[in-house]
C-alpha cells in the first residue's frame, strides 16, 4: 500500500505528461494490467499518476488498481484529466471543462426502470460534493479568464464523438458541456470506493466535422491546460480541507 493524497488518471501518455513534468520524486513506472502507475509529489502532496488507457473499461481498471494501491487516513481525491470534446454552446477549443457531474452517455436501461445514462444499480449521475465543487471554482488561477473555464456535466461514451454522435448526446443531455471516453467509469469506481472524484478536461475539439483532425492538433495543448487548472484546484482543495480540521490534526 502506498500513502496517497491524490490519484491523477489520464488515458494517454501525452495527457499524463504535463503532470509528470510538474512532479518531483517520481518513482519508476509500475504496470498493473493496462495501467502504468508512478508515485511522486505534486504541490508537496503524495500523488499517484496513472496512465490508464483509452476507454471506459481501461479507465475503470486503472481507477480500481490505483485505489487498491493507495493507503492513507481516508480515500484519496481522484482526478480524471486530459482532453475532451466540447459540446456546450459556450465551450471553445482551448477552454477547460470541470466536470461537477458525470454520466455514462451509452448506458440505457430504461426498459428496467433506470434513467438514460444510468448504469443499473448505480446512481443516475455522479455529482461532486459541494466543498469540492467550490474548490474547483476558487482554484481557477486569476490569470485565466473566467469564461475559459466551465463547470457542469461531462458525459463519457465508448466512441470518439463526431458530429452525428454529438447531436444525439445533446438531445438526451441538454446541459452537457463536454464528452470524453473515461470520466464516468472512473466516477463509478470512486463511488464504489467512497472516494471523491473530479474531472478536469482541456477542450481539444468541438465534436464537429473536423473533430479528429482538431483532436490530433490540440490534444497536447488541452492536456497542458488541464494540468494547469488541476494543480491549482488541488492546492485550493487541500488548503480548504486542512482549514476544516482541528488545529492539532493539521500536519500530524
Q: What is the predicted pLDDT for the residue at 40? A: 97
Model confidence, pTM: 0.94
SS3 67: helix
Q: What is the predicted pLDDT for the residue at 248? A: 42
β-bridge partners, 93: none
Active site residue 13: no
| Catalytic hit among 5, 15, 95, 182 | 15
Task: Taking residues 98-125, report their average pLDDT.
Answer: 97
CATH architecture group of domain 2-249: 3-Layer(aba) Sandwich (3.40)
Active site residue 15: yes
| 173-185: pLDDT as tens digits | 999 999 999 999 9
Confidence band (pLDDT; 50, 70, 90) for 123? Answer: very high
Task: Taking residues 60-75, report their average pLDDT.
Answer: 89
| Catalytic hit among 5, 101, 182, 205 | 205
Say if residue 247's pLDDT is above 60. Answer: no
Distances (CA, A) of 128 to 28, 136, 229: 32, 10, 17
Q: Which of 26, 162, 18, 13 is nearest to 87 (CA)?
A: 162
| 146-173: pLDDT as tens digits | 669 999 999 999 999 999 999 999 999 9
Q: Which of 43, 68, 90, 79 is nearest to 182 (CA)?
A: 79
User: Nearest 5°: phi and psi at 90?
Assistant: -100, 0
Confidence band (pLDDT; 50, 70, 90) for 145? Answer: low
| 75-107: pLDDT as tens digits | 899 999 999 999 999 999 999 999 999 999 999
Q: Which of 140, 157, 158 is nearest to 149 (CA)?
A: 140
Average pLDDT, the chain: 93
Q: What is the predicted pLDDT for the residue at 29? A: 97
Amino acid at each position: 500500500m502506498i500513502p496517497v493524497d491524490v490519484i491523477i488518471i489520464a488515458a494517454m501518455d501525452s495527457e499524463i505528461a504535463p503532470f509528470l513534468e510538474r512532479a518531483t520524486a517520481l518513482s519508476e513506472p509500475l504496470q498493473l494490467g493496462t495501467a502504468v502507475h508512478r508515485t511522486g509529489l505534486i504541490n508537496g502532496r503524495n500523488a499517484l499518476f496513472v496512465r490508464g488507457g483509452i476507454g471506459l473499461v481501461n479507465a475503470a481498471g486503472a481507477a480500481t488498481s490505483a485505489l487498491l494501491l493507495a493507503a492513507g487516513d481516508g480515500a484519496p481525491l481522484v482526478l480524471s484529466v486530459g482532453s475532451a470534446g466540447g459540446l456546450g454552446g459556450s465551450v471553445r477549443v482551448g477552454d477547460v471543462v470541470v466536470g461537477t457531474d458525470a454520466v455514462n452517455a451509452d448506458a440505457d436501461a430504461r426498459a428496467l426502470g433506470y434513467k438514460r445514462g444510468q448504469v443499473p444499480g448505480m446512481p443516475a449521475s455522479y455529482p461532486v460534493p459541494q466543498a469540492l465543487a467550490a474548490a474547483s471554482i476558487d482554484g481557477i488561477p486569476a490569470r485565466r479568464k473566467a469564461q475559459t473555464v466551465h463547470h457542469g456535466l461531462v458525459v463519457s461514451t465508448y466512441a470518439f464523438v463526431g458530429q452525428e454522435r454529438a447531436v444525439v448526446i445533446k438531445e438526451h443531455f441538454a446541459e452537457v458541456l463536454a464528452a470524453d471516453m473515461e470520466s464516468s467509469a472512473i466516477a463509478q469506481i470512486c463511488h464504489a470506493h467512497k472516494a471523491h472524484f473530479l474531472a478536469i478536461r482541456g477542450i481539444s475539439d468541438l465534436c464537429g466535422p473536423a473533430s479528429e483532425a482538431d483532436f490530433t492538433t490540440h490534444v497536447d495543448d488541452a492536456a497542458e491546460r488541464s494540468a494547469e487548472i488541476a494543480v491549482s484546484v488541488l492546492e485550493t482543495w487541500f488548503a480548504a480541507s486542512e482549514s476544516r480540521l482541528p488545529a492539532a490534526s493539521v500536519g500530524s
